[in-house]
Amino acid sequence: MAVPDLADSPPVRRLADWDDQQLRSLAATHDTPLYVIDLDRVQANYQRFSAAFPDAHVMYAAKAHTGQSVLSALLDVGADIECAAWGELERSIQAGADPNTLQYTAVNPPAHDLDYAVDLAEDAPGLTITIGATDTLDRLAERGYDGRIAIRINPGIGTGHHEKVATGNDAKFGIPYEQVPDVAERVRAEFDLVGLHSHAGSGVLTDDLEDHCEAIERVGEMARRVGDLEFVDIGGGFGVPYHEDEPPLDLAKTSEMVRDAVGDIDAQLKLEPGRYIVADAGLILTTVNTIKETPTATVVGVDASLATLIRPAMFGSYHPMRNVTAPDREPEPVTVGGPVCTSADVFATDRPIARPERNDILAIGNAGSYGYELASQFHSQPRPAEVALEDGDDRVVRRRETLDDVTRVEQ
């Protein structure tokens, strides 16, 4: 894969920047609903972020998109990978990652996850396990593990686009701040303490940086209290503009503020962007099947649903939409919904879109992160195919599921 030139890569890719003719062709060839991921853009986003933090170790948070094509593309440009579950560890290795470079962030890890990580570490002592509870230390010790540990700090400050992703003040995540020095002492006695970790929240844009950096300041302070660390990992959470009128994250300002917030530490700074790397590199194509005029709304029915993209139903998230069949038609306010039997299955309400007609193809933007990852088989709907774009070509990287795939595990 050719490495993209950053000079040709803008800081944000809007939905209107995609090639409508190419998108129509993909829909005609591969049917809809269809996920599209641009691997050139994925690589460019990683390179741009890394260039803003030249002295830091930038990993990719796999949970944003664990497709093998995405992981392989990022490994090709030197990214390491942070994983939140055993399946992400395995998929990263299958994509070509050296297990010694992986970081596993355990959150209430099931027994199988810990078993897998401990077994993996026997042959890959460079694997780092991040713990957010002393109970996890007990469980690791029971399994005979005495290797690399990072302590996840709960800084008591949450940030991000929604309360459900503001992990920095959620008791589920991390060791309570003032308990960290005692836990560090225990880790040093029983394991190999290599780092501190924290993640304040997700979807952080330039205007949110002050709150985000307040949490980072606390991590830097704790790093100086604990001392003798290999790295300090401040997580990810850096956002992309979902609304068309939102400016992109100012990376230069972000880098400066983050460095100032961390302060002077005798350790490697680590970051784990996920959404920033893949969000604007992906979209969904969906076909209009129904137009219904009512006294209160023009309802546009499409073949994608909350089973395809759950973020609007789960978070109330805004995703840009575009009629790629006829983008020059006069815009009309419409409500766009899918075929799932719930009022939550709506992508947009009273949204001005070039007047849709039956069989038009609509594109739903910024679907590269937490899109396919959260897709389901609700209503017995097989999950969609995914097509990757790279070096001017396209290829199917996930075939469309069939009903046999949906029912295969039943007995």
Tell whether residue 390 is among the known ligand binding residues. Answer: no
Strands (E) located in 97-247 = 103-105, 128-131, 148-154, 159-160, 175-176, 192-197, 201-202, 231-233
DSSP one-letter code for 360 = -
Torsion of CA 89, 95, 99, 104, to 10 degrees: -30
Pair 335, 344: CB distance under 8 Å: no
DSSP count for the chain of H helices, then E strands: 12, 20
Is residue 246 classed exposed, middle or buried when 0-12, 13-18 and 19+ CB atoms within 10 A define those classes? middle
* C-beta separation of 309 from 364 below 8 A: yes
Alpha helices in 67-109 (DSSP H): 68-76, 86-94
Cα distance between residue 62 and residue 42, in whole Å: 13
Residues 6+ apart with CB under 8 A from 204: 159, 160, 161, 212, 237, 238, 239, 249
Is 237 annotated as a binding-site member? yes
Catalytic residue among 296, 341, 359, 410: 341
Q: 311 labelled as ligand-binding?
A: yes
Q: Is 330:308 a contact under the CB 8 Å cutoff?
A: no
CA 69 to centroid of chain Cα atoms: 15
Neighbours of 374 (CB within 10 A): 15
DSSP letters, 201-233, are EE-B-GGGHHHHHHHHHHHHHHHHHH---SEEE
Which amino acid does the sequence have at 13?
R
Residue type, 80: D
Q: Is 213 a catalytic residue?
A: no
How far does CA 95 lie from the centroid of its chain? 17
Q: Is 272 annotated as a binding residue?
A: yes
273 labelled binding-site residue: yes
Q: What are the beta bridge partners of residue 82? A: 61, 103
The binding site for pyridoxal 5'-phosphate comprises 237, 272-275, 370
The binding site for substrate comprises 275, 311, 370
The binding site comprises 237, 272-275, 311, 370
* Residues marked as catalytic: 341
